[in-house]
């Protein structure tokens, strides 16, 4: 047990302006002097006659005291009567002596109190004898002695409490503090310190996903404005995401289909759109749109279907539906960033479970979270973004059986995947299939749909904003689905091209690429080799751009070659140095590969 000090002999210091009877003050001095011969009793006054009166009173009263020997020795060896010019001088002395007990026996003790900095217990005014403090005044009377009041306080509850510091840095704060920390850490030769701070910097890395990319600065809201007072503090501190400028760049960062509609279909679509009555709201039920989706994607008749303005909107609608107090969302990590983001925006609790080293579900970790948190909502992307792989079907089945809530399989990349969970909907009452037409070639039309048992979809309809699909988008999707074979052909071409791209990328293994991950989506995840001090291909890119990480440096170099890909290195520790490359047309992929080779300082 640590203690602050060993309490020393008692001390009293009385400051008196002569307004209190000399006998009272003399007795106050005695009251500490009688403790023991080492006790210290001091009187300070600006009134010489009063000091004389106290001295006389001491001489007169001491003979009546049972402990007169002790009092006498204490006063002789350690006592003092001190005259000062004025009371402020007395205060200076008090602060030097830093007594255990201080009596301010003056007409206006409060006037002196403000300047007293060091004293254990302070007794104010003529009626407050120190002895009351010993027995019954109230505050703790375990007091610091021997001048320790300069730095310590009466014993109290705080002495028995231990404290922890809480540090919470916002994303913006991490930009400033991260750079400072990294500079100081490197000057001390502590590289891991520097990098752990730099992981949180926004440069070139932000949450994954087609839409969410780099941070924009938080708008400065004056602290006094109504907005600053009324907007949720966590949102005030947050920055929004925006898509990076892609003008003039080959855009391979957002998993878009690189092919446009054939020219004759573009014209036909133009005519169709000209017919849309844009003075009217869309048909609110979207019955025609839904029938077309059902027919085209073979949605089981008994299942319910809800449309969303992109699948992003359906994700936030699901959160709105299921976010009760205490409700939890679970998703494996790394995964599509909008799951956690939607939870955060709605203040729903989010729990992530890390994937294993081969980006497969860690089933034990997932089940442990399910058992502990009983999540109302589980999201799994199949195939997963940004890793590109499909999770094991057995693991997903186990999760579907164990999870008490809705399990959403997000099939955004279904057009490029080997299989779908849609045919198995009837087997699992808690299964929902989330799809989007974005990757198929309709990213501009913003259409997502969710298929699940009607128990779920009937209620999900209630949180869908009315008219969430614009009439022009609706008409576009209806038109596109009439020509579904065109999109199916494009998806086939993309799948073929993915294999070519994978092959070409694998040839760069050991030449700046450390890993090329298998893909069942329309993008490929690769890991760039660490920039080494000795140089090497990746090292050259790192050194050339002055960046700490090879992945970020390669992404930056590719951008300088007018190719935009996605640096996901800072999204999750497992994605260190990883880049996500969208499959483009054969020509686009050649350009991307050429830019990658240049970035890796390989001969073209």
Q: How far is the CB of 318 from ligand PMP (least distance, A)?
A: 12
The answer to whether residue 468 forms part of the interface with ligand PMP (CB under 6 A) is no
d(Cα 133, Cα 28) in Å, to the nearest integer?
A: 12
Whether residue 566 contacts residue 253, with contact meaning beta carbons closer than 8 Å, is answered with yes
Whether residue 592 contacts residue 502, with contact meaning beta carbons closer than 8 Å, is answered with no
Q: How far is the CB of 332 from ligand PMP (least distance, A)?
A: 12
d(Cα 482, Cα 75) in Å, to the nearest integer?
A: 109
Helix, strand, coil % over all residues of the chain, rounded to 5: 45, 15, 40
Candidates 225-233, 278-286, 436-444, 524-532 — which segment interacts with ligand PMP by CB under 6 A?
A: 436-444
| Residue of 559, 598, 574 whose CA lies nearest to 252 | 559
- Which one of residues 448, 536, 539, 584 is an interface residue with ligand PMP (CB under 6 A)? 448
Nearer to ligand PMP, 99 or 209 (CB): 209
Size of the site for ligand PMP (CB under 6 A): 15
Whether residue 521 contacts residue 255, with contact meaning beta carbons closer than 8 Å, is answered with yes
Candidates 175-183, 435-443, 492-500, 551-559 — which segment interacts with ligand PMP by CB under 6 A?
A: 435-443
Nearer to ligand PMP, 210 or 512 (CB): 210
DSSP collapsed to 3 states, 142-171: CCCCCCHHHCCCCCCHHHHCCCCCCCCCCH
206 CB-contact burial (10 Å; exposed 0-12 / middle 13-18 / buried 19+): buried
Query: DSSP labels for 85-153?
Result: SSHHHHHHHHHHH--SEEEEESS-HHHHHTT----SEEEESTT--HHHHHHTSSS------TTGGGT--
Residue reference for tokens 């890793």: 387
Nearer to ligand PMP, 103 or 411 (CB): 411
509 CB-contact burial (10 Å; exposed 0-12 / middle 13-18 / buried 19+): middle
Nearer to ligand PMP, 95 or 211 (CB): 211
Show the site string, 330-349: x = touches ligand PMP by CB under 6 A, - = not. ------x-------------
The answer to whether residue 412 forms part of the interface with ligand PMP (CB under 6 A) is yes
Q: How far is the CB of 574 from ligand PMP (least distance, A)?
A: 17
Show the site string, 225-264: x = touches ligand PMP by CB under 6 A, - = not. ------------------------------x---------
The answer to whether residue 210 forms part of the interface with ligand PMP (CB under 6 A) is yes
d(Cα 582, Cα 501) in Å, to the nearest integer?
A: 10
Q: How far is the CB of 448 from ligand PMP (least distance, A)?
A: 4
d(Cα 106, Cα 124) in Å, to the nearest integer?
A: 8
Q: How far is the CB of 434 from ligand PMP (least distance, A)?
A: 7
Query: In Å, what is the CA distance from 153 to each residue of 115, 149, 218?
Result: 17, 6, 44
Q: How far is the CB of 310 from ligand PMP (least distance, A)?
A: 3
The answer to whether residue 436 forms part of the interface with ligand PMP (CB under 6 A) is yes
Nearer to ligand PMP, 106 or 522 (CB): 522
DSSP 8-state secondary structure symbol assigned to residue 511? T
Show the site string, 302-331: x = touches ligand PMP by CB under 6 A, - = not. --------xxx-------------------
- Respond yes or no on whether the N-terminal peptide bond of residue 386 is cis (omega within 30° of 0): yes
Q: How far is the CB of 255 from ligand PMP (least distance, A)?
A: 6
Nearer to ligand PMP, 46 or 567 (CB): 567
Nearer to ligand PMP, 109 or 334 (CB): 334
The answer to whether residue 74 forms part of the interface with ligand PMP (CB under 6 A) is no
Nearer to ligand PMP, 328 or 385 (CB): 385
Sign for the CA dihedral angle at 211, 212, 213, 215 comes to positive
The answer to whether residue 441 forms part of the interface with ligand PMP (CB under 6 A) is no
Q: How far is the CB of 372 from ligand PMP (least distance, A)?
A: 25
Nearer to ligand PMP, 255 or 432 (CB): 255
Residue nearest to ligand PMP (CB): 310
Rg of the chain taking only CA atoms, in angstroms:
38
Nearer to ligand PMP, 404 or 465 (CB): 465
- Which one of residues 46, 410, 497, 514 is an interface residue with ligand PMP (CB under 6 A)? 410
The answer to whether residue 519 forms part of the interface with ligand PMP (CB under 6 A) is no
Q: How far is the CB of 530 from ligand PMP (least distance, A)?
A: 27
Residue reference for tokens 């279907």: 305
d(Cα 10, Cα 78) in Å, to the nearest integer?
A: 11
Phi, psi of 493 (to 5 degrees): -60, -40
Whether residue 377 contacts residue 331, with contact meaning beta carbons closer than 8 Å, is answered with no
Q: Which stretches of the chain bind ligand PMP, using CB under 6 A?
A: 209-210, 255, 310-312, 336, 381, 385, 410, 412, 436, 438, 443, 448
């Amino acid at each position: 047990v640590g203690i602050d000090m060993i309490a020393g002999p008692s001390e009293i210091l009385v400051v008196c302006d002569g307004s209190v009877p000399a006998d009272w003050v003399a007795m106050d001095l005695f009251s500490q002097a009688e403790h023991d011969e080492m006790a210290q009793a001091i009187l300070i006054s600006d009134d010489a006659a009063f000091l004389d009166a106290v001295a006389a009173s001491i001489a007169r009263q001491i003979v009546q005291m049972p402990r007169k020997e002790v009092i006498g020795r204490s006063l002789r060896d350690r006592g003092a009567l001190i005259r000062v010019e004025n009371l402020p001088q007395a205060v200076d002395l008090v602060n030097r002596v830093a007594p255990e007990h201080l009596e301010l026996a003056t007409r206006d003790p409060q006037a002196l109190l403000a300047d007293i900095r060091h004293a254990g217990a302070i007794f104010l005014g003529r009626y407050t004898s120190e002895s009351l403090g010993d027995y019954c005044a109230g505050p703790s009377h375990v007091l610091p002695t021997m001048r320790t009041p300069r730095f310590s306080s009466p014993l109290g509850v705080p002495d028995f409490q231990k404290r922890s510091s809480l540090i919470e840095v916002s994303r913006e704060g991490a930009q400033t503090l991260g750079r400072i920390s990294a500079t100081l850490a490197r000057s001390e030769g502590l590289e891991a310190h520097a990098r752990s701070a730099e992981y949180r910097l926004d440069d070139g890395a932000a949450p994954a996903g087609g839409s969410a990319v780099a941070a924009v600065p938080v708008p400065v809201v004056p602290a006094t404005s109504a907005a600053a007072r009324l907007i949720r503090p966590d949102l005030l501190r947050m920055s929004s995401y925006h898509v990076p400028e892609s003008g003039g760049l080959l855009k391979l960062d957002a998993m878009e289909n690189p092919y446009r509609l054939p020219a004759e279909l573009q014209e036909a679509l133009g005519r169709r759109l000209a017919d849309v009555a844009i003075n009217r709201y869309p048909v609110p039920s979207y019955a025609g749109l839904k029938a077309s989706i059902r027919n085209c994607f073979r949605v089981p008749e008994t299942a319910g279907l809800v449309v969303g303005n992109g699948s992003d909107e359906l994700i936030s609608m699901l959160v709105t539906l299921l976010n009760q107090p205490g409700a939890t969302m679970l998703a494996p990590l790394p995964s599509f960033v909008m799951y956690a983001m939607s939870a955060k925006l709605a203040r729903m609790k989010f729990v992530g479970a890390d994937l294993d080293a081969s980006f497969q579900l860690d089933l034990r970790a997932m089940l442990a979270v399910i058992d502990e948190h009983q999540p109302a909502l589980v999201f799994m992307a199949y195939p997963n973004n940004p890793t590109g792989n499909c999770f094991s079907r057995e693991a997903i089945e186990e999760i579907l059986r164990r999870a008490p809530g809705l399990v959403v399989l997000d099939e955004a990349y279904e057009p490029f995947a080997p299989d779908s969970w849609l045919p198995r909907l009837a087997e699992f009452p808690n299964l929902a299939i989330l799809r989007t037409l974005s990757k198929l070639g309709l990213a501009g039309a913003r259409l997502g749909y969710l298929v699940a048992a009607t128990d779920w979809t009937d209620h999900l309809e209630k949180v869908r904003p009315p008219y969430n699909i614009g009439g022009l988008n609706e008409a576009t999707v209806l038109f596109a689905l009439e020509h579904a074979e065109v999109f199916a052909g494009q998806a086939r071409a993309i799948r073929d091209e993915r294999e070519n791209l994978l092959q070409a990328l694998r040839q760069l293994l050991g030449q700046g690429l450390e890993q090329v991950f298998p893909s069942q989506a329309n993008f490929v995840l690769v890991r760039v080799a660490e920039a080494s001090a000795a140089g090497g291909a990746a090292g050259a890119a790192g050194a050339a751009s002055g960046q700490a990480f090879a992945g970020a440096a390669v992404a930056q170099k590719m951008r300088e070659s007018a190719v935009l890909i996605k640096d996901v290195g800072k999204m999750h520790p497992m994605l260190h140095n990883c880049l996500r490359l969208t499959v483009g047309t054969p020509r686009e992929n050649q350009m991307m590969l050429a830019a990658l080779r240049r970035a890796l300082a390989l001969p073209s």
